[in-house]
Amino acid sequence: MILLLKLVLAPLLVVGSSLAGRRWGGRVAGMLVAFPIVAGPILLISCLEHGVRFGARAATASLLGLVSLAVFAVVFAFAGRRWWWPLTLAVAWAASLLTDVILAQLTVGAGGAALLVLAAVWVAYRLIAAIDVGGGVRAAAAAPWWDLPGRALATALLVLAVTGIAERVGPVVTGILAPFPIATSVVAAFVLAQQGPAPTVRTLAGVIRGLVGFAVFCLLVAVLLVPVGVVGAFGAAVAGVLAVQLGWAGLRRLRAGRPRREPESVTSP
């Protein structure tokens, strides 16, 4: 059962979100990529293999790991305006890993980690919004046949690697590495290579918005695992992330459907 979760669940979720993102656009793709599609299975597997206390600590560390994911998005968005995608990806990965090294030295509870994430999300969204000017879209090239299998294989390898070293490095490093931007990296690199910087910025803006739901997921797992167990904690976490993401979608639809106010006419007395 655990092997099945490692090799099937996370890759299937990555492929499903990739297909949905292609249909509904860059911002939607970014928000879908920010679902805990890799970290969720990693945390679940950690709980099944090492117990709920280990899983709760790993979930708290995953909250901190979302800060490095926000750093990745900002660095990729800015670097992608000037550099080719391989160099952009390398620089963004380096920034993310450096942030992970710093975060691994911190000792904070779930509440403190959540506050750090919210602050990082706010700063990251403001920075990305400042360069989200639209335009500059190139015709998207057809995805190669190996695109989706490659994403699935990369996700499976990441899940196997992180869960495989859990016993050696402990819950803190495992949790911090769980949100490593493997799915975000693939999506952002493909958009940058095929469509250019402007759509990439919009996709990463969606990623930043999606991190709020991701943070809710990790926070609920961290807080509820010990008192209510695996099923209750993960059930509440999934419901929490869905509620946040649906709230974002409803807010966007409300803003899109709001009529613009016409200027009042001025009549002479």
What's the average model confidence in pLDDT over 113-137?
Answer: 84
Return the closest-CA partner of residue 235 out of 252, 149, 2, 243: 243
Which pTM does this prediction carry? Answer: 0.79
pLDDT of 3 reads 60
Residue where the block lists tokens 């006419």: 265
Of 217 and 13, which is predicted with more confidence? 217
d(CA 221, CA 98): 26
pLDDT of residue 265: 40
Question: Phi and psi dihedrals of 71, rounded to 5?
Answer: -60, -45
Task: Tell me the residue type at 33.
Answer: V
pLDDT at 5: 64
pLDDT band at residue 141 under the 50/70/90 scheme: low
Least confident of 52-66, 128-142, 197-211, 230-244: 128-142
Q: Which residues contact 103 (CB under 8 A, 6 or more apart)?
A: 64, 65, 67, 68, 176
**Cβ 166 vs Cβ 50: under 8 Å:** yes
Supply the mean pLDDT for the chain: 80
- C-alpha 253/C-alpha 107 separation (Å) is 40
The model's confidence at residue 16, banded by pLDDT at 50, 70 and 90, is confident
Work out the end-to-end distance of the chain between its first and last CA atoms, rounded to an integer number of angstroms. Answer: 81
- Per-residue model confidence (pLDDT) at position 187: 80
Closest among 115, 114, 113, 120 to 96, alpha carbons compared = 120
